[in-house]
Chain A
Amino acid sequence: MATTTATITLSSTDLLSNELALSTTATLTQAGNSTGLTGTTGLARKTTATVAPYTLYHADDYTTTKAHKMYLKNTSTTATYYYDIGIGIVGNSTSIGRLYAGDWAFIPWLATDGTKEVFTITLSGTWATADTLTFDGVTISPTNTAHADTAAVIRATYYPNWVVSGSGSDAIFTARRARSDQEIDVGEWTLVDAGGSDAAIAVATTTEGLADPKNIIITPGGSSTNSVTLEHMLLTDE
């Protein structure tokens, strides 16, 4: 088991009458047990050159209600340059606070998922091995005429923006990330009925996606033109 420790030291000789010398070390463990955290994004840097907000970490990419920890540092040396650290989505986030030049933060993160779009595709008609079905940039072909087998091919295929489950002649697509602009219908699919038969699909939405994940949003401030760099690392409980 990996051991990850985080030590903080807060010190001041002149803030109080008595010297402030606070130091503590946490061994970072998974939620509710003593097993060490097992994942990390590694240390990275993000440079921004405008005041536009940016999604640093997507909540949907991580398991929610865990003991994730996030390290952030504003590497700027210009005192007025800061990053506003927020939680939510770009354009609708709650500010946690500002990291000014040189400041760092160590923040627990719940990574609350958003509401992901879910729809079901159902096969009907007569399918042939020459037929093709394209969605999300991925094309599949039946291995035989059985609906269940074709649906199994769909379920076994990797789609960049969707996770597929289901059984029988159905394939249930769940978005990898919560968005509010994914209204999927038959029009998003391309069915080439090369066999000249009456292959068909039906698409039914079961959950409308919402833009409500609790992502980590960074927004540079203090300069609209100069680049600022944020050092960051996520330690994950997956």
Chain B
Amino acid sequence: MATTTAAVTLSSDLLSDNMSVSASTTCMKAGTTADGLDQIEYGYIDVVTGDQFDLLGADDDDGTPVAGVMASKANKVYIKNHSTDETYYVSIMIDAQDIGRLYGGDWMFIPWNATTDDKDIEITASGGTNKIEYALFHQGKTLVAS
């Protein structure tokens, strides 16, 4: 099995006392303690304005749903906006639900439950072309025969 570790540290002087929150997890397959997520999709793309794109599809290119094997699992998605203009952002949506915005420099790390083939992770750029790095850690999906 592969061992992938995800760690986060949040630090701030927002409060009277300095805040420092840290967490680390070994990315496991759903419901296990001994079998790590062992597959990854990793990329870096320019996202132009004007359209909403599927960054990560819950169905394959021919429309075949992969949700059956991606559903109810412990998939993890990392997205970072590498744009340096602070007014640029990308909107992140799942199934037409606007989750939030990643402004230039922001990143996110979320679980992803592709329960049905319309649970794509969709992305829309604003301000200009946004440079996006992304990674999906998962435990397998069905490839479509060519």
B86 at the binding interface (Cβ < 8 Å) = yes
- Residues on B with beta carbons closer than 8 Å to the beta carbon of A37: 14
Q: List residues of A whose CB falls within 8 A of some B CB.
A: 2-16, 20, 22, 24, 26-29, 31-34, 36-40, 42-43, 65, 67-69, 71, 73, 79-80, 82, 84-85, 87-88, 94-110, 112, 214, 222, 233, 235
Q: Give the residues in chain A near B113, CB-CB below 8 Å.
A: 84, 95-98
Given A6-B10, A10-B78, A15-B38, A27–B25 Cβ distance below 8 Å? no
Docked Cα-Cα span, A84 to B73, in Å, equals 11
Q: Which residue of B lies closest to A65 (CB)?
A: B101
B15 touches A40 (CB 8 A): yes
How many Å from the CB of B65 to the closest CB on chain A? 16
Which chain B residues border A43 with CB–CB below 8 Å?
Answer: 19, 21
The answer, among A7, A40, A87, A99, for a CB contact under 8 Å with B8, is: A7
Q: Given the complex, which residues of A lie within 8 Å of B101, measured CB to CB?
A: 31, 65, 67, 108, 110
Whether B63 is near chain A, meaning CB under 8 Å from some CB there, is no
Chain A residues contacting B6 (CB-CB under 8 Å) are 8-10, 104
> In the assembly, what is the distance between CA of A84 and CA of B10, in Å?
23
**Interface of B with A (CB < 8 Å)?**
2-15, 19, 21, 23, 25-28, 30-33, 38, 40, 72-78, 80, 86-87, 89, 91-92, 94-95, 97-103, 105-113, 115, 119, 135
Are B74 and A107 in contact, CB atoms less than 8 angstroms apart?
no
The interface residues of chain A, by DSSP majority, are classed as strand
Q: With the chains together, A87 CA to B106 CA distance in Å?
A: 20
The answer to whether B31 and A233 have CB atoms under 8 Å apart is no
Cα of A100 to Cα of B73 in the assembled complex, Å: 9
Complex Cα spacing A205 to B72, Å: 43
Question: For residue B74, which residues in chain A have a CB less than 8 angstroms away from its CB?
Answer: 82, 98, 100, 103
Cα A61 to Cα B83 in complex, Å, equals 30
Q: Are A15 and B4 in contact (CB under 8 A)?
A: yes
Query: Are A40 and B14 neighbours in the complex by a CB distance under 8 Å?
Result: yes
Chain B residues, CB < 8 A from A85: 110-111
| A-side contacts of B4, CB under 8 Å | 10-12, 15, 20
Given contacts A10-B78, A15-B38, contact A99 B11 (CB under 8 A): no
CB A73 to nearest CB in B, in angstroms, measures: 5
- A32 touching B97 in the complex, CB below 8 Å, given contacts A40-B15, A80-B31, A104-B25: no
A13 contact set on B, CB distance < 8 A: 3
The residue among A14, A24, A27, A97 with the most chain B CB atoms within 10 A of its own CB is A97
